[in-house]
Structure formats: structure tokens, C-alpha cells
Structure 1
């Protein structure tokens, strides 16, 4: 019996040591399972983190300052904002084939043809009438002047694909073994449910990155125990505990935001007073602490931090929770009472909580229902918008479209902002358009997404961007 007990103790010891922890020179990173590794067809944080290491975008763009940092591009220039020239740096894909201007032309044609997630960046935002390639030079001719081209071309979904997959159209196969032009290459195929290993190409951060797929709570505990270097998501139940890591944690703005869109042509919501009343009846803090599990911030502006140009000034009155004022506005507008709030895929839980809160705050009947596939709506709908670019034009035009808002002055300001010659001029015009939406309120801002990460003591230089989260290529151990 003693011998059996000894074997049992040894077995437990071996099981407890099954994960030896990070190896020297290897950065271990915990992530969720990416939705795909096809860069133009993803919008999830894990997918963008991985593809952000496998590919180098044409440029980095800071929405707050309008600063463009060329990456795969050597320069992105125009003299009239209609004709743009993009000069590429010499580069190769991880399969050894050259990255040329034609690589981008062929990839972008495919993105639009396949209707991938990033296709609206090309068809609705960039709107190039002609794109030509010559060696390492791209020339674009737009259908109107636009100063937003550097912001649009920085979109992570517009990175190039190698000629082999563009010829084969084997998108599923490519997503399992992607070939990019970035600082890391995938060493062997991606293993769903397990992860993959990245090998450094040239100079950079860690020589190897071990990407481990798992649940955020377990990954958080693994970092705390020293068996994982970096956890890229912190679950709600760990939110208040992240300070136990001292300065080894960070939060960053995600390109994601939630809104309540009103059907401005529906009789019950045609009056802006009613819309403001409903906006004041939303307890955003309850949504953040409840169904959204501390993964968001209550909205303080119409544009989320990841998409906001320049300094933010002034207050967002419709972002406040003021139930008495909300009820008074509905009474002032003779609101008939009763409303249905519609929700799309993935938004049911927090929309139902929102409807219950509106009912209690405003003392009117509010129910929640799945959004019908077609037809006009008679009540407001929740929107969970994931952005493809850092340009405010994308979000503001989407919000107007979703609510049916067609004010001509708003459209003019949006067009002028798109055509503006400088980031400062564009920022001022975007703020005018934003302020008009806050005044007329076809949509009420609810929340903006943010990401969390924690890391072990041996990890250094963790920086983040809205679209990739932690920049894996910059992390050292």
C-alpha cells in the first residue's frame, strides 16, 4: 500500500509539472482561439494579434494625432488628394517570393470580390477608380479628394497575400498555414485548440513566440504562477485583481463601440426630445459591470478613444444617466409609451439588460427582441460596431446609415472632413459632425471596448495598439 501511495504522489508531481513554463529565449503568450488567420476576413482581437505579427501593414496611423508612420510603405503621398502614390520598401513573403505593388493590387481585388470583412474599406471608403502597379510603386486615383488615404491604407485587413494563394483560392488551407510579410513567420501549421509557434524573421523581439490557446481565467492564473509570460485578455472576475501585478498590466482602447440607434423616421422616435430621454435612461455603468463584464468603458463621447481625432473637449450630456431628466423629456414630448429594443447576433444578453434598465428608469414598457432580417424598425436597436480602420469617417458614416439619418449639413461636414488637406482641419470637421450627431441624436453612445493584458516579471517593453493589442514584435524577455 505504501508503494502504491508513493506512485500516486509521484504521478501528481509529474502532472503538476506538465507545463514547465517559458523556455529561455521563448515568449509564451496566452490567447483565445482566433476566428481565422486570413487577415482581410477577421475582426477579433486574437486574430488581429497573431496576424499583426505575421504581416506588416503599409503604415501605422494614430487617429488622435493624425500621425502616419510608414511601415511596409516607404511613403504615401499626394499633391491633390485625388492621385496617391505609395512607394514600397523592398520585402519578401515568408515563402521567399517578393512583395510587389502587384501583390497589393491582386490582393485588394480578391478582398472586394470575396466580400471579406475588410471589403468595405476598399469599396465604400477608399473608392479608388483606378489602381496601378509598377514594381514597388502603387498609384491610386480616387473618385474624389480624400485626405484619409493614409488612415485607410493602415487598415490591418489590407496587407498583401502571396501569389500562390491568390491563384489557388484555397483560403481555408491558407488560414491554417498563413504566409505573410511581417516580423514573424508561423513555424508549422496552426493547431486549432492548441496554438502555434512564431519564429522571428530578421531583427526584432523574442526569437520565438509560443502562442497558447486557452481560456483567459486559466491564462491569467498561469502568468501569476510564472508558467506563462503574457495573457492578452483578463476576464471580468479578475478585473479588480489586476493591480496585484503592479506595473505589469495594461489597458488599451479597442476599435469597438456600442450604440443605441433610433429609427428617426418612425413616428414614436422622430422627435429628438424622445431620443434624448431614452439616452438619459441608460445606466451605462450597470452594463459595464454586468453583462459586459468589465470589458468596456461607459461612453463619454460619440467617437470611441481608438477613433477620436485630436483632443476631446466638452461633455457628452446624452452619455449621462439621469432617470428623472429622461422621464421629464418623454413627458414633455408626449411619448405614447412602450418600445421594443432590437438586437443583433451576440448582443442579446446586454440588450435585454438595457431594456430592463430603461423600463425601470423611464417607467415605460420596454422589451427586447431579435432584429428582423429585413424591413423597417419601429423601435431602437443596439449596435456593436467593430471598426476596420482608424478613420472617423468609417464610424460616423456607419452610424448615420444605421439610423437613417440624412441631414445635409452633417453629410457636407463629413465630406469636407474626408477631403481635408491636413489632420487638424479634418479633426475640426469631424468634431462638428460628431457634435451634430450628439445634438440630433440619431444614435446614443453606450460604451467603448478596451483590452487588458498582464505579464510576468521576465517580460519587458509591452506596448499596444488599438488593432493588434500587445505588439508581439516589440516584447523582450
Structure 2
């Protein structure tokens, strides 16, 4: 079999989104030269992490922004989604099944201890243990020895301090593409001494580190400073990063407008009509790998997706939503109505999959489907609720979507507000939702698989709707083991056609990244996944 080699340069990966930002509008100049105060602290917005800051248990954007800044995996992703070597010197395989990973020499954690092959193998094995209940444990499911129902013994072998091997259960040509995700981060030995304490004050090997032992002030902010020992592709040109946890996006917008915040990575919908005039040379509006939906949990009465009633009601709800009107009126064309479960910036995307017509607004068809469900079991005067977090700027579109559902189907429908994203996630984790809830995905790495496996695979960490389908799981497994990009794409598209029949979530739209920055900073560039490349930013 042709040898797959991953060397010091950018990795030539299967199905990357290397050109996804070509031709997109952006108001900034991210030039090659850096100027400004190298000790200056960059400020940006964020949200309180749901969990302690352990890489394998951080699967939401608030914590993810911090973890990705503090840790360096084997590879990282540049602005366009192409993969670059980070902690790894090379990643090689003769058969796409047995992979040999060599590390760059001389790397250390911020406590001064060395980053070794065992720093990776021990961390991966710990994350994969069933008894440790890590939300991202399923990312290791294609490594031999993984078990979703018992403690795992991953087929990882340490060859030397700077070399180890990983044996996959089946060939996967794009496996190195996944290794930039935070679950694959290394951990220092101190982690195992007190995991709880580590989660409050993580010790990483990335471009930034916590400014002090008490740098994380819960529900307020976290302060990071540059890690001078980091020498990878994301070496910062500034002195640090402070992430403030805003309760509303409008408050964050007011701060960046007044110069009290440097970068805002999500303009609130209340400012869509004015942000370009407010920041004429300092805005971005470009495609990103973000899919948005709402989830109707399988345990919700009348919506069991394995029953005819449940399938009819899910389809009726989907057809009752006027996505075209909402994206135009509420989002001022900063969203695009969904045609699948992934993103148009990902290779393999298709807008004409079988069953995708369920995403087209059709009031008469929606009423008919609902009536068929009513003939099976009356819905009564139950109110259909759609939960959202108030700190994320979601109320306007939730109100518009529930009004569309109510007007079309003649039922009561309304939003249900949670104060914070963490509180919403906690109820989702505990199967405590009494209605639908807003959901979506910001890609971890540029692949169709990443939009499907974490959200819908049986037992996956972000499968909060508790969806399960042996047909879907089989197609996903088949695509993951494919030896060519075309074969993998065909399997993943067929898997989505299963999702269109079952509708575990109701796809809504794809997001652009709409960000702004103050005149206090330069060289602002937003990446393929909508996150600013903070390490490039300069400040006077």
C-alpha cells in the first residue's frame, strides 16, 4: 500500500478544507509582519467552561477556547483548516493502520517537566477509560483496545522518550487529521496526582499558560500569559490573553465599541444592521465550520424517534420553520439555511441529499404530518418549548422559530431561557430537559465525520438527545475505515440520509463568523472554525 507520510511541513490530509476562506470578506489585515508591544495582553469574549479544564472532558466552546490556548497536540490547524506539525516531528504509516509518531525534542510542560511519548500515551489511555467518564472518550474509539462499556487498553506502544506507535482497529487514511483535537493533548505527571486541582489550574505545553494559580475567576474571566518555552507554529507575538465571560453578547459588543475589549468573535443579532458601519475596517463576515440546530430528545413524550408518531411530529416541526425568513430578517444574511448536517466549507458537503426536503418550509405539509400524528396520539394543550442560553444571544431566533411553529401548526410554542450555557448543558447531561433545546457544532477538525460522530453516534459524548441507530453507526464506521476520500464521503452522505429520516435534531442554518475588533489591535484573523488566531494579534 502507498506509504502515507506526515512530515515537518503542512500535512497533505484527506478531505481538508484548505481553501474554505478564499474570497470571503474580511475587514482586517492579518499580514505577515508583527508589530506592537510583545508584552501586551489581548482581551476577548468567552463563556464560563462547563467542566474543569481537562482536555478530554471539554467539548464546548467556552472551555475549548481555553484548552486550545493552553495545550499543544501533535498537530494544529492553520487559518484555512490545513494541518501543521505542532508537538510532532512526523506521523507515518505504511498501511494507514499502524502509525508511528515521533516528537520534537526538548519540549516541556509549563511546570518544567518534559513532554515525552508517555505524556501522550498515558493521557490517551486515561481519557479512554470507561471509569473516568470523559465526554470526549469516543475520540479514541478507532484505536485498537478501546471499549465503550468497560475500561480500555489502547494499543499504544512507547518506543522511546520521543517516539510511540498507535495501532488502529481498521485503516484510516485521515487519522492524523483528527490529532489536532484537544482530547489528544498530552498531560504532565502532576495531573494524575490530583485531577480535581489540575482542572482548576491546568498545566499545559501550548502557546499560553495560566497567569497564576488563581487565574480562573469563575463566571468572570480567565487570565493567560505567553508560554515562552513553546516553540511551535502558534508562537504568540503578544504577552497574553484575557477571556472575559460575558452574560450577554450585547454587553461584549458595547465594550469592544468603547475600546474596553479588543476582539469580539460573535456579533449579537441586535447589531447585524450596524456592525460594519461601527467597525468599517475592523470586521469579519466569512464562512466557518459551524452548524446550528435544535435537538428534540428521544425521551420526550410524543417525540420518540423510533415510533411513527415521533417521526411524524419531528418532520412536521421541521417543515413548520421558515428558515429563509429567519436568516434574512433576524440574521441579516449572516446565516445560510441548512441543507444537511455538516457545513458548506467542508469537503464532501452536498445540498441535495435524499430526504433534505424536510428542511423546506411547507405549511400545508407540516399541518398534514401533524394531523397524522394526532390520529395516533393527541398532543393536547402541551406547550412545545425550545430551551436556549441567554448568555449566547439566542432569544430573537428562538422566538422567531417558535412563533413559526405555533402559527403553522396551531399549537403553543415558546422559548425557555437558561441563564448560562453551562446550566443548559448540565440539564442536557442529566436528561432533565422537558422540551427541545438549541444545539449545534463548531468543528474540532475539518471533516464530515467530525460533524456526525460526536453528535449522533450511539453513546457519543455530545449526543445529548440520546439518539441511537445501528444503521447510522454502521455507515459511520464504514466511512471512518475507508481508504479513499471518495469512499468515505459516500458513506457519510448515506449516513446523513438516515438522519433525515429520523431527525434526531432539526437542522436550522450554517453560521458565518461575524466578528469585530477595536482599534487597539492589529493582525486579527479568524480561522476556519470561527475562532480568532490569538497568537497572531498585535497590540500597541
Q: Place the TM-score, normalised by the shorter chain, in its bin.
A: 0.7 to 0.9
Q: Secondary structure of the equivalent of 1:139?
A: strand
Say yes or no: does 1:178 pair with 2:178.
no
TM-score by length of 1: 0.77
Give the direction of change, closer, same or farther, for the CA distance of 1:311–1:287 in structure 2 (3 Å limit): closer
Relative to structure 2, which stretch is displaced further, 130-139 or 192-201?
Answer: 192-201
Q: Which residue of 2 aligns with 1:325?
A: 365
What is the CA RMSD across the aligned residues, in angstroms? 4.2
Q: In the alignment, which of 121, 144, 149 is matched to residue 170 of structure 2? A: 144
In the TM superposition, what is the alpha-carbon distance from 1:232 to its structure 2 partner?
Answer: 3.5
In the TM superposition, what is the alpha-carbon distance from 1:280 to its structure 2 partner?
Answer: 0.8
Structure 1: distance between partners of 2:66 and 2:512: 18
Q: In the alignment, which of 131, 144, 151 is matched to residue 156 of structure 2? A: 131
Higher helix share: 1
Q: Which residue of 1 aligns with 2:40?
A: 26
Q: Secondary structure of the equivalent of 1:464?
A: coil
Question: Which runs of 5 or more structure 2 residues have no equivalent in the other structure?
Answer: 1-35, 147-153, 297-302, 417-426, 459-464
Q: Deviations over 1:297-318 (max 9, x none)?
A: 4641322328843344437422
Give the direction of change, closer, same or farther, for the CA distance of 1:267–1:112 in structure 2 (3 Å limit): same
In the TM superposition, what is the alpha-carbon distance from 1:118 to its structure 2 partner?
Answer: 2.0
Structure 2: distance between partners of 1:140 and 1:74: 15
Q: Which residue of 1 aligns with 2:20?
A: none
Give the direction of change, closer, same or farther, for the CA distance of 1:163–1:442 in structure 2 (3 Å limit): closer
Say yes or no: does 1:213 pair with 2:213.
no
In the TM superposition, what is the alpha-carbon distance from 1:163 to its structure 2 partner?
Answer: 1.2
Relative to structure 2, which stretch is displaced further, 243-252 or 347-356?
Answer: 347-356
Q: Secondary structure of the equivalent of 1:263?
A: coil
Give the direction of change, closer, same or farther, for the CA distance of 1:300–1:270 in structure 2 (3 Å limit): closer
Asked if the contact 2:173–2:482 (Cα under 8 Å) also holds between the matched residues in 1, the reply is yes
Q: Secondary structure of the equivalent of 1:51?
A: helix
Give the direction of change, closer, same or farther, for the CA distance of 1:467–1:105 in structure 2 (3 Å limit): farther
Q: Which residue of 1 aligns with 2:439?
A: 384
Q: In the alignment, which of 66, 74, 89 is matched to residue 104 of structure 2? A: 89
Q: Which residue of 1 aligns with 2:409?
A: 362
Say yes or no: does 1:222 pair with 2:255.
yes
Structure 1: distance between partners of 2:223 and 2:374: 60
Asked if the contact 1:186–1:198 (Cα under 8 Å) also holds between the matched residues in 2, the reply is yes
Asked if the contact 2:386–2:414 (Cα under 8 Å) also holds between the matched residues in 1, the reply is no
Q: Which residue of 1 aligns with 2:188?
A: 162
In the TM superposition, what is the alpha-carbon distance from 1:259 to its structure 2 partner?
Answer: 3.6
TM-score by length of 2: 0.69
Q: Which residue of 1 aligns with 2:469?
A: 406
Q: In the alignment, which of 271, 275, 283 is matched to residue 249 of structure 1? A: 283
In the TM superposition, what is the alpha-carbon distance from 1:418 to its structure 2 partner?
Answer: 0.7
Q: How does 1:267-278 map to 2 (within 5 A)?
A: 267-270=308-311, 275-278=314-317
Question: Which runs of 5 or more structure 1 residues have no equivalent in the other structure?
Answer: 1-21
Say yes or no: does 1:196 pair with 2:220.
no
Structure 2: distance between partners of 1:381 and 1:276: 14
Say yes or no: does 1:49 pair with 2:60.
no
Q: Which residue of 2 aligns with 1:4?
A: none
Q: Which residue of 1 aligns with 2:338?
A: 300
Asked if the contact 1:156–1:467 (Cα under 8 Å) also holds between the matched residues in 2, the reply is no
Structure 2: distance between partners of 1:223 and 1:355: 31
In the TM superposition, what is the alpha-carbon distance from 1:353 to its structure 2 partner?
Answer: 7.0
Asked if the contact 1:206–1:475 (Cα under 8 Å) also holds between the matched residues in 2, the reply is yes
Q: How does 1:53-92 map to 2 (within 5 A)?
A: 53-60=69-76, 68-90=83-105, 91-92=107-108
Relative to structure 2, which stretch is displaced further, 359-368 or 430-439?
Answer: 359-368
